[in-house]
Protein backbone atom coordinates (compact mmCIF):
# COMPACT_ATOMS: atom_id res chain seq x y z
CA UNK A 1 0.00 0.00 0.00
CA UNK A 2 1.49 3.26 -1.15
CA UNK A 3 0.47 5.59 1.64
CA UNK A 4 -2.32 4.49 3.97
CA UNK A 5 -2.33 7.72 5.99
CA UNK A 6 -2.61 9.92 2.92
CA UNK A 7 -5.44 7.76 1.64
CA UNK A 8 -7.23 7.98 5.01
CA UNK A 9 -6.80 11.78 5.07
CA UNK A 10 -8.28 12.20 1.62
CA UNK A 11 -11.16 9.91 2.53
CA UNK A 12 -11.79 11.86 5.75
CA UNK A 13 -11.86 15.15 3.82
CA UNK A 14 -14.39 13.66 1.40
CA UNK A 15 -16.50 12.47 4.37
CA UNK A 16 -16.59 16.07 5.63
CA UNK A 17 -17.71 17.39 2.27
CA UNK A 18 -20.44 14.73 2.09
CA UNK A 19 -21.64 15.64 5.59
CA UNK A 20 -21.75 19.33 4.62
CA UNK A 21 -23.80 18.46 1.55
CA UNK A 22 -26.20 16.50 3.78
CA UNK A 23 -26.64 19.53 6.05
CA UNK A 24 -27.21 21.79 3.07
CA UNK A 25 -29.84 19.44 1.70
CA UNK A 26 -31.72 19.35 5.00
CA UNK A 27 -31.84 23.13 5.10
CA UNK A 28 -32.96 23.30 1.48
CA UNK A 29 -35.80 20.84 2.06
CA UNK A 30 -36.90 22.70 5.18
CA UNK A 31 -37.05 25.96 3.21
CA UNK A 32 -39.00 24.30 0.39
CA UNK A 33 -41.55 22.76 2.78
CA UNK A 34 -42.07 25.99 4.74
CA UNK A 35 -45.24 27.72 3.52
CA UNK A 36 -44.71 31.12 1.89
CA UNK A 37 -46.49 34.27 3.02
CA UNK A 38 -49.63 33.48 1.03
CA UNK A 39 -49.78 30.04 2.65
CA UNK A 40 -48.92 28.07 -0.49
CA UNK A 41 -45.98 25.67 -0.58
CA UNK A 42 -43.05 26.00 -1.18
CA UNK A 43 -41.51 28.80 0.79
CA UNK A 44 -38.72 29.70 -1.67
CA UNK A 45 -38.69 30.22 -5.41
CA UNK A 46 -37.77 27.36 -7.71
CA UNK A 47 -34.78 29.31 -9.02
CA UNK A 48 -33.34 29.74 -5.52
CA UNK A 49 -33.97 26.08 -4.70
CA UNK A 50 -32.22 24.96 -7.88
CA UNK A 51 -29.23 27.19 -7.20
CA UNK A 52 -28.94 25.78 -3.68
CA UNK A 53 -29.27 22.22 -4.92
CA UNK A 54 -26.59 22.94 -7.52
CA UNK A 55 -24.19 23.79 -4.70
CA UNK A 56 -25.04 20.58 -2.93
CA UNK A 57 -24.39 18.55 -6.08
CA UNK A 58 -21.06 20.29 -6.59
CA UNK A 59 -20.03 19.37 -3.02
CA UNK A 60 -20.98 15.74 -3.58
CA UNK A 61 -19.10 15.62 -6.85
CA UNK A 62 -16.03 17.03 -5.16
CA UNK A 63 -16.37 14.38 -2.44
CA UNK A 64 -16.72 11.60 -5.01
CA UNK A 65 -13.63 12.88 -6.80
CA UNK A 66 -11.71 12.59 -3.53
CA UNK A 67 -13.08 9.09 -2.90
CA UNK A 68 -11.75 8.16 -6.31
CA UNK A 69 -8.35 9.62 -5.43
CA UNK A 70 -8.31 7.64 -2.18
CA UNK A 71 -9.24 4.50 -4.12
CA UNK A 72 -6.43 4.99 -6.60
CA UNK A 73 -4.03 5.35 -3.67
CA UNK A 74 -5.36 2.18 -2.02
CA UNK A 75 -4.95 0.17 -5.22
CA UNK A 76 -1.59 1.63 -6.18
CA UNK A 77 1.67 0.08 -5.10
CA UNK A 78 0.08 -3.35 -5.09
CA UNK A 79 2.08 -4.33 -8.17
CA UNK A 80 4.57 -6.43 -6.18
CA UNK A 81 1.80 -8.26 -4.32
CA UNK A 82 -0.06 -8.96 -7.55
CA UNK A 83 3.15 -10.25 -9.12
CA UNK A 84 3.78 -12.41 -6.06
CA UNK A 85 0.35 -14.00 -6.38
CA UNK A 86 0.92 -14.68 -10.07
CA UNK A 87 4.34 -16.19 -9.29
CA UNK A 88 2.78 -18.40 -6.65
CA UNK A 89 0.13 -19.50 -9.12
CA UNK A 90 2.89 -20.38 -11.56
CA UNK A 91 4.73 -22.35 -8.89
CA UNK A 92 1.58 -24.25 -7.96
CA UNK A 93 1.09 -25.13 -11.62
CA UNK A 94 4.63 -26.50 -11.80
CA UNK A 95 4.00 -28.65 -8.74
CA UNK A 96 0.82 -29.95 -10.31
CA UNK A 97 2.76 -30.97 -13.39
CA UNK A 98 5.39 -32.67 -11.25
CA UNK A 99 2.76 -34.71 -9.47
CA UNK A 100 1.17 -35.55 -12.81
CA UNK A 101 4.50 -36.88 -14.03
CA UNK A 102 4.61 -39.13 -10.98
CA UNK A 103 1.23 -40.46 -11.99
CA UNK A 104 2.73 -41.14 -15.40
CA UNK A 105 5.35 -43.19 -13.68
CA UNK A 106 2.74 -45.41 -12.09
CA UNK A 107 1.10 -45.75 -15.49
CA UNK A 108 4.45 -46.77 -16.80
CA UNK A 109 4.70 -49.47 -14.19
CA UNK A 110 1.32 -50.78 -15.32
CA UNK A 111 2.49 -51.00 -18.89
CA UNK A 112 5.68 -52.76 -17.88
CA UNK A 113 3.59 -55.24 -15.98
CA UNK A 114 1.38 -55.84 -19.01
CA UNK A 115 4.49 -56.49 -20.99
CA UNK A 116 5.72 -58.92 -18.38
CA UNK A 117 2.40 -60.70 -18.41
CA UNK A 118 2.53 -61.02 -22.19
CA UNK A 119 5.93 -62.59 -21.91
CA UNK A 120 4.71 -64.92 -19.15
CA UNK A 121 1.74 -65.96 -21.27
CA UNK A 122 4.14 -66.92 -23.99
CA UNK A 123 2.56 -64.82 -26.71
CA UNK A 124 5.44 -62.95 -28.33
CA UNK A 125 3.26 -61.94 -31.28
CA UNK A 126 1.23 -59.80 -28.89
CA UNK A 127 4.25 -58.10 -27.41
CA UNK A 128 4.40 -55.44 -30.06
CA UNK A 129 1.41 -53.36 -28.93
CA UNK A 130 2.42 -52.96 -25.27
CA UNK A 131 6.00 -52.34 -26.32
CA UNK A 132 4.90 -49.58 -28.67
CA UNK A 133 2.82 -47.98 -25.91
CA UNK A 134 5.71 -48.13 -23.50
CA UNK A 135 8.04 -46.48 -25.98
CA UNK A 136 5.61 -43.62 -26.49
CA UNK A 137 5.23 -43.19 -22.78
CA UNK A 138 8.92 -43.01 -22.03
CA UNK A 139 9.37 -40.46 -24.78
CA UNK A 140 6.61 -38.33 -23.32
CA UNK A 141 8.16 -38.24 -19.83
CA UNK B 1 -20.87 -65.58 13.99
CA UNK B 2 -19.72 -62.69 16.08
CA UNK B 3 -16.16 -63.20 14.97
CA UNK B 4 -17.08 -63.23 11.32
CA UNK B 5 -19.02 -60.01 11.80
CA UNK B 6 -15.97 -58.46 13.38
CA UNK B 7 -13.89 -59.46 10.40
CA UNK B 8 -16.49 -58.04 8.09
CA UNK B 9 -16.37 -54.73 9.94
CA UNK B 10 -12.60 -54.68 9.91
CA UNK B 11 -12.65 -55.39 6.22
CA UNK B 12 -15.12 -52.60 5.58
CA UNK B 13 -13.02 -50.23 7.64
CA UNK B 14 -9.95 -51.11 5.63
CA UNK B 15 -11.82 -50.47 2.40
CA UNK B 16 -13.18 -47.15 3.65
CA UNK B 17 -9.84 -45.83 4.84
CA UNK B 18 -8.32 -47.08 1.63
CA UNK B 19 -10.86 -45.10 -0.36
CA UNK B 20 -10.34 -41.88 1.55
CA UNK B 21 -7.63 -40.66 -0.72
CA UNK B 22 -7.05 -37.22 0.76
CA UNK B 23 -6.37 -35.70 4.16
CA UNK B 24 -8.93 -33.42 5.84
CA UNK B 25 -6.47 -30.56 5.46
CA UNK B 26 -6.43 -30.88 1.69
CA UNK B 27 -10.23 -30.93 1.81
CA UNK B 28 -10.10 -27.63 3.75
CA UNK B 29 -7.82 -26.11 1.13
CA UNK B 30 -10.21 -27.24 -1.61
CA UNK B 31 -13.14 -25.74 0.32
CA UNK B 32 -11.21 -22.46 0.49
CA UNK B 33 -10.54 -22.54 -3.25
CA UNK B 34 -14.21 -23.21 -3.91
CA UNK B 35 -14.96 -19.79 -2.38
CA UNK B 36 -13.24 -17.96 -5.25
CA UNK B 37 -16.50 -17.30 -7.17
CA UNK B 38 -17.52 -15.16 -4.20
CA UNK B 39 -15.05 -12.55 -5.42
CA UNK B 40 -17.59 -11.96 -8.18
CA UNK B 41 -19.57 -9.64 -5.89
CA UNK B 42 -16.56 -7.30 -5.80
CA UNK B 43 -16.33 -7.40 -9.57
CA UNK B 44 -20.02 -6.62 -9.95
CA UNK B 45 -19.81 -3.61 -7.63
CA UNK B 46 -16.69 -2.31 -9.36
CA UNK B 47 -18.58 -2.39 -12.66
CA UNK B 48 -21.48 -0.55 -11.05
CA UNK B 49 -19.07 2.06 -9.74
CA UNK B 50 -17.64 2.40 -13.22
CA UNK B 51 -21.11 3.35 -14.55
CA UNK B 52 -21.84 6.04 -11.95
CA UNK B 53 -21.94 8.81 -14.56
CA UNK B 54 -24.46 6.99 -16.74
CA UNK B 55 -26.93 6.72 -13.85
CA UNK B 56 -26.45 10.29 -12.60
CA UNK B 57 -26.47 11.98 -15.98
CA UNK B 58 -30.26 12.50 -16.47
CA UNK B 59 -30.44 14.29 -13.11
CA UNK B 60 -27.56 16.73 -13.62
CA UNK B 61 -27.57 20.37 -14.67
CA UNK B 62 -25.32 21.25 -17.65
CA UNK B 63 -22.61 22.57 -15.31
CA UNK B 64 -22.74 19.51 -13.05
CA UNK B 65 -22.80 17.30 -16.12
CA UNK B 66 -19.55 18.85 -17.38
CA UNK B 67 -17.89 18.26 -14.00
CA UNK B 68 -19.13 14.69 -13.82
CA UNK B 69 -17.97 14.02 -17.35
CA UNK B 70 -14.45 14.97 -16.38
CA UNK B 71 -14.63 12.85 -13.23
CA UNK B 72 -15.95 9.95 -15.28
CA UNK B 73 -12.85 9.86 -17.48
CA UNK B 74 -10.65 9.47 -14.40
CA UNK B 75 -13.00 6.89 -12.94
CA UNK B 76 -12.95 4.71 -16.06
CA UNK B 77 -9.18 4.63 -16.01
CA UNK B 78 -9.00 3.76 -12.31
CA UNK B 79 -11.61 1.02 -12.62
CA UNK B 80 -9.42 -0.87 -15.07
CA UNK B 81 -6.94 -1.23 -12.20
CA UNK B 82 -9.58 -1.85 -9.52
CA UNK B 83 -11.00 -4.79 -11.44
CA UNK B 84 -7.55 -6.32 -11.88
CA UNK B 85 -7.11 -6.60 -8.10
CA UNK B 86 -9.28 -9.68 -7.92
CA UNK B 87 -7.75 -11.51 -10.89
CA UNK B 88 -4.45 -12.40 -9.21
CA UNK B 89 -6.27 -13.52 -6.08
CA UNK B 90 -8.73 -15.60 -8.08
CA UNK B 91 -5.97 -17.35 -10.03
CA UNK B 92 -4.10 -18.00 -6.79
CA UNK B 93 -7.13 -19.55 -5.10
CA UNK B 94 -8.11 -21.71 -8.04
CA UNK B 95 -4.64 -23.09 -8.66
CA UNK B 96 -4.19 -23.78 -4.97
CA UNK B 97 -7.45 -25.76 -5.11
CA UNK B 98 -6.19 -27.74 -8.07
CA UNK B 99 -2.93 -28.47 -6.30
CA UNK B 100 -4.87 -29.73 -3.28
CA UNK B 101 -7.23 -31.54 -5.62
CA UNK B 102 -8.55 -34.96 -4.86
CA UNK B 103 -7.49 -36.28 -8.24
CA UNK B 104 -3.94 -35.02 -7.70
CA UNK B 105 -3.58 -37.25 -4.78
CA UNK B 106 -5.68 -40.12 -5.93
CA UNK B 107 -3.83 -42.61 -8.07
CA UNK B 108 -6.75 -45.04 -8.12
CA UNK B 109 -7.01 -44.89 -11.91
CA UNK B 110 -3.39 -45.77 -12.33
CA UNK B 111 -3.65 -48.56 -9.81
CA UNK B 112 -6.63 -49.96 -11.68
CA UNK B 113 -4.57 -49.85 -14.86
CA UNK B 114 -2.01 -51.99 -13.16
CA UNK B 115 -4.68 -54.49 -12.28
CA UNK B 116 -6.47 -54.57 -15.62
CA UNK B 117 -3.19 -54.64 -17.46
CA UNK B 118 -2.45 -57.99 -15.94
CA UNK B 119 -5.98 -59.29 -16.16
CA UNK B 120 -5.84 -58.75 -19.90
CA UNK B 121 -3.53 -61.75 -20.03
CA UNK B 122 -5.59 -64.64 -18.66
CA UNK B 123 -3.09 -67.25 -19.80
CA UNK B 124 -0.31 -65.94 -17.62
CA UNK B 125 0.42 -67.57 -14.32
CA UNK B 126 -0.66 -64.53 -12.35
CA UNK B 127 -4.02 -64.96 -10.70
CA UNK B 128 -6.40 -62.37 -9.30
CA UNK B 129 -5.02 -62.68 -5.84
CA UNK B 130 -1.56 -61.67 -6.98
CA UNK B 131 -2.93 -58.89 -9.07
CA UNK B 132 -4.83 -57.44 -6.13
CA UNK B 133 -1.85 -57.76 -3.86
CA UNK B 134 0.30 -55.99 -6.38
CA UNK B 135 -2.26 -53.26 -6.93
CA UNK B 136 -2.49 -52.74 -3.18
CA UNK B 137 1.23 -52.34 -2.93
CA UNK B 138 1.36 -49.88 -5.81
CA UNK B 139 -1.37 -47.91 -4.12
CA UNK B 140 0.59 -47.67 -0.90
CA UNK B 141 3.77 -46.61 -2.63
CA UNK B 142 2.04 -44.07 -4.80
CA UNK B 143 0.35 -42.54 -1.80
CA UNK B 144 3.56 -42.48 0.17
CA UNK B 145 5.25 -40.52 -2.59
CA UNK B 146 2.64 -38.07 -3.82
CA UNK B 147 0.92 -37.49 -0.49
CA UNK B 148 3.71 -35.65 1.31
CA UNK B 149 4.75 -33.98 -1.95
CA UNK B 150 1.29 -32.50 -2.30
CA UNK B 151 1.02 -31.42 1.34
CA UNK B 152 4.41 -29.74 1.22
CA UNK B 153 3.64 -27.97 -2.02
CA UNK B 154 0.32 -26.67 -0.70
CA UNK B 155 1.94 -25.49 2.55
CA UNK B 156 4.74 -23.70 0.69
CA UNK B 157 2.29 -21.83 -1.49
CA UNK B 158 0.08 -20.95 1.48
CA UNK B 159 3.02 -19.68 3.51
CA UNK B 160 4.27 -17.38 0.77
CA UNK B 161 0.76 -16.31 -0.16
CA UNK B 162 -0.11 -15.02 3.31
CA UNK B 163 1.11 -11.42 2.96
CA UNK B 164 0.16 -10.66 -0.64
CA UNK B 165 -3.32 -12.14 -0.13
CA UNK B 166 -3.77 -10.01 2.98
CA UNK B 167 -2.65 -6.83 1.20
CA UNK B 168 -4.86 -7.38 -1.82
CA UNK B 169 -7.88 -8.19 0.36
CA UNK B 170 -7.27 -5.02 2.40
CA UNK B 171 -7.24 -2.91 -0.75
CA UNK B 172 -10.41 -4.56 -2.06
CA UNK B 173 -12.16 -3.89 1.22
CA UNK B 174 -11.10 -0.23 1.16
CA UNK B 175 -12.41 0.11 -2.38
CA UNK B 176 -15.73 -1.46 -1.44
CA UNK B 177 -16.07 1.13 1.33
CA UNK B 178 -15.28 3.96 -1.11
CA UNK B 179 -17.77 2.59 -3.68
CA UNK B 180 -20.36 2.59 -0.92
CA UNK B 181 -19.71 6.21 0.03
CA UNK B 182 -19.73 7.26 -3.61
CA UNK B 183 -23.01 5.45 -4.13
CA UNK B 184 -24.40 7.36 -1.13
CA UNK B 185 -23.60 10.68 -2.80
CA UNK B 186 -24.98 9.42 -6.11
CA UNK B 187 -28.21 8.44 -4.38
CA UNK B 188 -28.52 11.85 -2.77
CA UNK B 189 -27.92 13.61 -6.07
CA UNK B 190 -30.52 11.49 -7.90
CA UNK B 191 -33.21 11.29 -5.24
CA UNK B 192 -32.40 14.77 -3.91
CA UNK B 193 -33.08 16.27 -7.33
CA UNK B 194 -36.49 14.58 -7.50
CA UNK B 195 -37.24 15.49 -3.90
CA UNK B 196 -36.45 19.19 -4.35
CA UNK B 197 -38.27 19.55 -7.68
CA UNK B 198 -41.49 17.64 -6.89
CA UNK B 199 -42.87 20.36 -4.48
CA UNK B 200 -42.79 22.90 -7.35
CA UNK B 201 -45.12 20.84 -9.52
CA UNK B 202 -48.76 21.84 -9.84
CA UNK B 203 -50.88 18.88 -8.66
CA UNK B 204 -53.55 19.58 -11.27
CA UNK B 205 -51.59 20.67 -14.32
CA UNK B 206 -48.56 18.38 -13.78
CA UNK B 207 -50.45 15.35 -12.56
CA UNK B 208 -48.79 12.92 -14.95
CA UNK B 209 -45.30 14.31 -14.29
CA UNK B 210 -45.90 14.17 -10.56
CA UNK B 211 -46.93 10.52 -10.74
CA UNK B 212 -43.91 9.59 -12.84
CA UNK B 213 -41.51 11.50 -10.60
CA UNK B 214 -42.87 9.87 -7.45
CA UNK B 215 -42.76 6.40 -8.98
CA UNK B 216 -39.18 7.02 -10.12
CA UNK B 217 -38.32 8.14 -6.61
CA UNK B 218 -39.65 4.87 -5.18
CA UNK B 219 -37.81 2.78 -7.74
CA UNK B 220 -34.54 4.55 -7.10
CA UNK B 221 -34.92 4.17 -3.35
CA UNK B 222 -35.40 0.41 -3.77
CA UNK B 223 -32.41 0.21 -6.13
CA UNK B 224 -30.02 1.93 -3.74
CA UNK B 225 -31.24 -0.11 -0.80
CA UNK B 226 -30.48 -3.28 -2.77
CA UNK B 227 -27.01 -2.05 -3.70
CA UNK B 228 -26.35 -1.29 -0.03
CA UNK B 229 -27.18 -4.91 0.81
CA UNK B 230 -24.96 -6.20 -2.00
CA UNK B 231 -22.06 -4.15 -0.69
CA UNK B 232 -22.51 -5.62 2.79
CA UNK B 233 -22.57 -9.11 1.29
CA UNK B 234 -19.45 -8.47 -0.80
CA UNK B 235 -17.63 -7.24 2.31
CA UNK B 236 -18.68 -10.35 4.24
CA UNK B 237 -17.42 -12.53 1.40
CA UNK B 238 -14.00 -10.89 1.56
CA UNK B 239 -13.95 -11.31 5.35
CA UNK B 240 -14.80 -15.01 5.03
CA UNK B 241 -12.05 -15.58 2.46
CA UNK B 242 -9.56 -13.77 4.65
CA UNK B 243 -10.52 -15.82 7.72
CA UNK B 244 -10.27 -19.14 5.91
CA UNK B 245 -6.92 -18.25 4.40
CA UNK B 246 -5.60 -17.15 7.77
CA UNK B 247 -6.81 -20.37 9.42
CA UNK B 248 -5.13 -22.49 6.74
CA UNK B 249 -1.89 -20.57 7.06
CA UNK B 250 -1.96 -20.89 10.85
CA UNK B 251 -2.06 -24.68 10.57
CA UNK B 252 1.11 -24.91 8.51
CA UNK B 253 3.65 -27.02 10.36
CA UNK B 254 6.83 -25.01 10.96
CA UNK B 255 9.60 -25.62 8.48
CA UNK B 256 11.99 -28.37 9.57
Q: What is the DSSP string of A13-35?
A: HHHHHHHHHHHHHHHHHHHHHS-
Mean per-residue pLDDT over chain B, rounded:
82
Nearest to B178 by CA among A83, A56, A2, A13: A13
Query: What is d(CA B159, CA B149) in angstroms, rounded to the nearest whole number?
Result: 15
Which chain B residue is nearest to residue A16, measuring alpha carbons? B181
Note whether B138 contacts A74, CB cutoff 8 Å. no
Query: For residue A81, which residues of chain B lie inside 8 Å, CB to CB?
Result: 88, 163-164, 167-168
* Nearest-by-Cβ selection for B114 from A15, A80, A110: A110
**Are the C-beta atoms of A24 and A49 separated by less than 8 Å?**
no
Question: How many CA atoms within 13 Å lie on the side-chain side of A18?
Answer: 22
* Nearest-by-Cβ selection for A53 from B92, B99, B196: B196
Note whether B118 contacts A15, CB cutoff 8 Å. no
pLDDT, residue B131, reads: 63
Mean per-residue pLDDT for A17-29?
A: 92
Mean per-residue pLDDT for A42-68?
A: 92
pLDDT category, B210, cuts 50, 70, 90?
very high
**Are the C-beta atoms of A1 and B163 separated by less than 8 Å?**
no
* Nearest-by-Cβ selection for A88 from B71, B92, B122: B92
Rounded to two decimals, the ipTM of the complex is 0.74
* Number of Cβ pairs < 8 A linking chain A and chain B: 212
Note whether B164 contacts A110, CB cutoff 8 Å. no
Chain A: nearest CA to B51, how far in angstroms? 13
Lowest mean pLDDT among B15-29, B174-188, B207-221: B15-29
pLDDT, residue B20, reads: 38
- Specify the DSSP element, H or E, that contains B40: helix B40-50
Mean per-residue pLDDT for A86-90?
A: 86
pLDDT, residue B22, reads: 63
CA pseudo-torsion sign B48, B54, B60, B64 = positive
pLDDT category, B11, cuts 50, 70, 90?
very low
Q: How far is CA B42 from CA A66, B11, B178, B190, in A?
A: 21, 50, 12, 24
**Are the C-beta atoms of B113 and A108 separated by less than 8 Å?**
no
Query: What is d(CA A45, CA A39) in angstroms, rounded to the nearest whole number?
Result: 14
pLDDT, residue B15, reads: 39
Note whether B200 contacts A95, CB cutoff 8 Å. no
Give the residue with greater pLDDT, B19 vs B183. B183
Mean per-residue pLDDT for A39-55?
A: 86
Note whether B200 contacts A1, CB cutoff 8 Å. no
Alpha helices in B51-206 (DSSP H): 52-56, 62-99, 102-105, 108-119, 128-197
pLDDT of B132 above 90? no
pLDDT category, B16, cuts 50, 70, 90?
very low
Output b/e per residue, B124-139; b: 16+ Cβ within 10 A: bebeeeebeebbeebb
pLDDT, residue B18, reads: 40
pLDDT, residue B5, reads: 46
Note whether B200 contacts A110, CB cutoff 8 Å. no
pLDDT, residue B12, reads: 40
pLDDT category, B19, cuts 50, 70, 90?
very low
Query: For residue A65, which residues of chain B lie inside 8 Å, CB to CB?
Result: 71, 74
pLDDT of B256 above 60? no
Note whether B71 contacts A68, CB cutoff 8 Å. yes
Lowest mean pLDDT among A34-48, B102-116, B148-162, B237-251: B102-116
Q: What angle do CA B146, B149, B150 make, to 5 degrees?
A: 85
First to last CA, chain B: 50
Nearest to B227 by CA among B36, B53, B47: B47
Whether the bond between B234 and the residue before it is cis, its omega within 30 degrees of 0, is no
Query: DSSP character for B124?
Result: S
- Count of CB atoms situated within 10 Å of the CB of A125: 7
pLDDT of A2 above 80? no
User: Can you give the length of chain B in residues?
Assistant: 256
For the stretch B58-82, pLDDT in tens is 999 999 999 999 999 999 999 998 9
Chain A: nearest CA to B31, how far in angstroms? 17
pLDDT, residue B141, reads: 63
Query: For residue A55, which residues of chain B lie inside 8 Å, CB to CB?
Result: none
Query: For residue A76, which residues of chain B lie inside 8 Å, CB to CB?
Result: 81
pLDDT of B124 above 60? no
pLDDT of B125 above 70? no
Selected residue of B182, B184, B194 to mutate for chain A interface (largest A Cβ count, 10 A): B182
**Cα radius of gyration rounded to whole Å, chain B:** 30
Note whether A107 contacts B110, CB cutoff 8 Å. yes
Q: What angle do CA B157, B159, A84 make, to 5 degrees?
A: 60
Query: DSSP character for B229?
Result: H
Selected residue of A68, A103, A114 to mutate for chain B interface (largest B Cβ count, 10 A): A68
pLDDT, residue A119, reads: 66
Tell me if residue B22 falls in helix, strand or coil: coil
Q: What is the model's pTM?
A: 0.75
Question: How many CA atoms within 13 Å lie on the side-chain side of A73?
Answer: 17
Note whether A113 contacts B134, CB cutoff 8 Å. yes
pLDDT, residue A124, reads: 61
Amino acid sequence: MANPTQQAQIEALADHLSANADALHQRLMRAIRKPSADGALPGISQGVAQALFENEVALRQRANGLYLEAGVLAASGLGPQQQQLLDLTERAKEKIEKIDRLKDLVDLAAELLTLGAAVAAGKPDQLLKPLEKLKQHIEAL
Amino acid sequence: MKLSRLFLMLGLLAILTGCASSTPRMADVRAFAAESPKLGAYHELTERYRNTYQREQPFLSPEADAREHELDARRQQACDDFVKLQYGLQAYMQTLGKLAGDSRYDLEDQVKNVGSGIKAWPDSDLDTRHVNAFAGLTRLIARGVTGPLQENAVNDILRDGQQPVQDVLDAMRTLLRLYDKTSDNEQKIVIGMLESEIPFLDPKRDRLLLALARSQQQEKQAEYRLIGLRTTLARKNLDAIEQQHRALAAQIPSKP
